Amino acid sequence: MKHCDKKAVTVNVTNRCNLRCVYCMACAGDEQDKAYSIPLDFALSGIRDALEGIPSGIKAEMLRFFAPGEPTQDMSVIRQCVDYARQIRPGCIVELQTNGLFENDDNAKWIAENISVVWFSLDGPASTNDRNRPDAFGKGRTADIERYLGIVQSRTKVGVRVTVTDEFLDNQEALVEYYHRLGVKFLALNPVIRPVKRGEQGLISVNASSQMRFAKGFCRAFKMAEDYGMEFTNSMSFNFDEPTNVSCRSCLPMPQLNPDGSVSSCDMAMYRDTKDELKPFIYGEWDAEKKIIAYDNEKIAHLQSHRLESLPKCSKCPIGKYCAGGCIGRIAYQTGDVNSVLPEICAATIYMAKHIPLGRMQYTQTHP
Ligand code: SF4
Ligand code: SF4
Ligand code: SF4
Helix (H, G, I), strand (E, B) or coil at 66: strand
pLDDT of 133-150, one tens digit each? 999 999 999 999 999 999
- CA–centroid distance, 105 to ligand 3, in Å, is 32
- CA–centroid distance, 217 to ligand 2, in Å, is 20
pLDDT of 275-294, one tens digit each? 999 999 999 999 999 999 99
Of all residues in the chain, the percent with pLDDT exceeding 90 is 95
Which CATH number among 3.20.20.70, 2.60.40.650, 3.10.20.30, 3.90.1150.10 corresponds to the domain 3-355? 3.20.20.70
Q: How confident is the model at residue 102 (pLDDT cuts 50, 70, 90)?
A: very high
Task: Residue 351: count other Cβ atoms within 10 Å of its Cβ.
Answer: 17
Q: Any residues with Cβ below 6 Å from ligand 2, and which?
A: 313-314, 317, 319-320, 323, 325-326, 341, 346, 349-350
The helix-helix angle for 142-153 and 105-114 (nearest 10°) equals 40
Strand partners, 10: 64, 256
Q: Quick check: 366 pLDDT over 90?
A: no
CA distance 33 to 18: 13
Q: Could you check whether the bond before residue 55 is cis, i.e. omega within 30 degrees of 0?
A: yes
Q: Any residues with Cβ below 6 Å from ligand 3, and which?
A: 248, 250, 266-268, 327-329
Nearest CA to ligand 3 atom 6: 266
Nearest CA to ligand 2 atom 4: 314
pLDDT of 180-191, one tens digit each? 999 999 999 999
Rounded to an integer, the average pLDDT of 3-11 is: 97
pLDDT of 309-335, one tens digit each? 999 999 999 999 999 999 999 999 999
Q: Any residues with Cβ below 6 Å from ligand 1, and which?
A: 17, 19-21, 24, 26, 28, 69-70, 99, 133
Nearest CA to ligand 3 atom 5: 266
Statement: the pTM of the whole predicted model exceeds 0.75: yes
- CA–centroid distance, 26 to ligand 3, in Å, is 14
Average model confidence (pLDDT) for the chain?
96
Task: Residue 67: count other Cβ atoms within 10 Å of its Cβ.
Answer: 30
Task: Give the DSSP letter string of 147-213.
Answer: HHHHHHHTTSEEEEEEEE-HHHHT-HHHHHHHHHHTT--EEEEEE-B----TT--S----BSS-HHH
Domain extents in the chain: 3-355
Nearest CA to ligand 2 atom 7: 346
Q: How confident is the model at residue 202 (pLDDT cuts 50, 70, 90)?
A: confident
In this structure, which amino acid lies at residue 160?
A: V
Q: Quick check: 11 pLDDT over 90?
A: yes
Nearest CA to ligand 2 atom 2: 346
